[in-house]
Amino acid sequence: MKSKIPCRTLGPALLVIGWLLISSGLVMAADQETNVNADFEAGFYYTVQKGDTLWDLSQRFSDTPWQWPDLWRENKQIPNPHWIYPGDRIRLYRKTGQYRPEGTVTSAVPAAAPDVQAAAVEKRPKPQVDFLYSNIDRVGFIRNPIVKPLGVIFKSLDDKKLISRDDTVYIRYPAEGKVVEFKPGMRLTVYRNLDPLKGDITQGTESGTQHYLLGVVEITKSEADHAMAKVVQSFRAILIGDKVMMYEPMSPIVRVVDSPPGIKGTLIASEDHTKMMGDLYIAFIDKGIDDHIAPGQVYSIYYQETVPLGVGKQTTTLNPVDIGSCLVLRAEKNASTVVITSSSRKISAGQPFRTP
């Protein structure tokens, strides 16, 4: 039987992160605006350590051990709740109560904790929590200076206006000259430069220029002044005039790491320039590598009101109220790209964030 080793060394920062981790689950997206495909998956995972039980993990990440049957039910790869092994990856879900009516207990899942025997307390390694974002290759960024394009799409086969997957396009070299030589088999990311605040095609703002990723093409034939390519991935509609940069695949698994203390900043905008944001929206923040921002850091999104005291013109600033959280997916010099991992109300551009 697997031993149960209690953990008594969790620090406040880990407890805060643990509270944030349960906020994200599996998404089968149907968002026409951002064209997310049906295979999209995002959420937090925990890597099992020696001595862990579902009872313990439920206590750690759901604030109560009695949620362990839901944790088991949602991880169908675990045939027996009494047996989980170091190295196993367990999906962490939000508490929804959707699986059984309040006040009842399903007979399919035992109500008691998995039968385990306590062992001598020993020092346990720090929990490993990862965030999975399967569509990370389509996540754009803000950068200053802008990426120098390798080429520009100047035509599509059959002169299609809206170019998508499996279409054929023609790419010319930049007017300034070749940066790299196009060769068959080479993959390139198609993108468009936008102003991160307005969403129009300009050189951007003080924080940099938004690089809005549209898809991936693969060179099929190369000529002296241009190349032919096939669209192998389509994130959004591709247009004549869109640019290409080198394709750099990113790992969809982001390790959750400690956030530096005292960070405060602002959400610049959502990636698709929607007025309001919610769970799993992609957004940009005005802090980057220069501010010690790194992928995997988690931040609280909040609002804070200044209101009149009711006496003359005196006002007071109320305590900040957390309304969501975000996790950094990629960081640039002066700005970073985040995913909203939870939201208790609609979030908009200009919303402040801080270290939990």
Instruction: Give which of 4, 14, 5 is closest to 122, Cα–Cα.
Output: 5
Quick: pLDDT tens for 194-219. 999 988 877 666 779 999 999 999 99
Q: How far is it, in rounded angstroms, from Cα 205 to Cα 218?
A: 31
Range with lowest mean pLDDT among 42-46, 257-261, 292-296, 350-354: 42-46
Q: How far is it, in rounded angstroms, from Cα 99 to Cα 117?
A: 29
Quick: pLDDT tens for 231-242. 999 999 999 999
What's the pTM? 0.78
Judge whether 211 and 186 are in contact, CB under 8 Å.
no
Domain 257-354 - what CATH class? mainly beta
Mean pLDDT of 124-129: 71
Query: Would the pLDDT of 293 be above 60?
Result: yes
**For residues 111 and 160, which has the higher predicted lDDT (pLDDT)?**
160
Q: How confident is the model at residue 126 (pLDDT cuts 50, 70, 90)?
A: low
Strand intervals (E) in 167-320: 168-172, 187-194, 209-222, 226-234, 243-246, 253-255, 264-270, 276-277, 282-285, 298-303, 306-308, 315-317
Quick: pLDDT tens for 166-197. 999 999 999 988 999 999 999 999 999 999 99
Parallel, antiparallel, or unpaired for β 117-118 and 3-4? parallel
Q: Do domains 140-246 and 257-354 have the same CATH topology?
A: yes
Peptide bond into 145 cis (omega under 30): yes
Sorted by where each begins, the domain ranges of the chain are 9-135, 140-246, 257-354
Quick: pLDDT tens for 27-67. 323 333 334 444 678 889 998 888 888 888 888 887 788 88
Question: Which CATH topology does 140-246 take?
Answer: Thrombin, subunit H (2.40.10)
Q: Please enumerate in sequence order all residues whose Cβ is within 8 A of that of 239, keeping only pairs 6 or more positions apart, or say none.
A: 153, 161, 162, 163, 192
Question: Which CATH topology does 9-135 take?
Answer: Membrane-bound Lytic Murein Transglycosylase D; Chain A (3.10.350)
Mean pLDDT of 140-158: 96
Res 334: pLDDT = 94
Query: Would the pLDDT of 5 be above 60?
Result: no
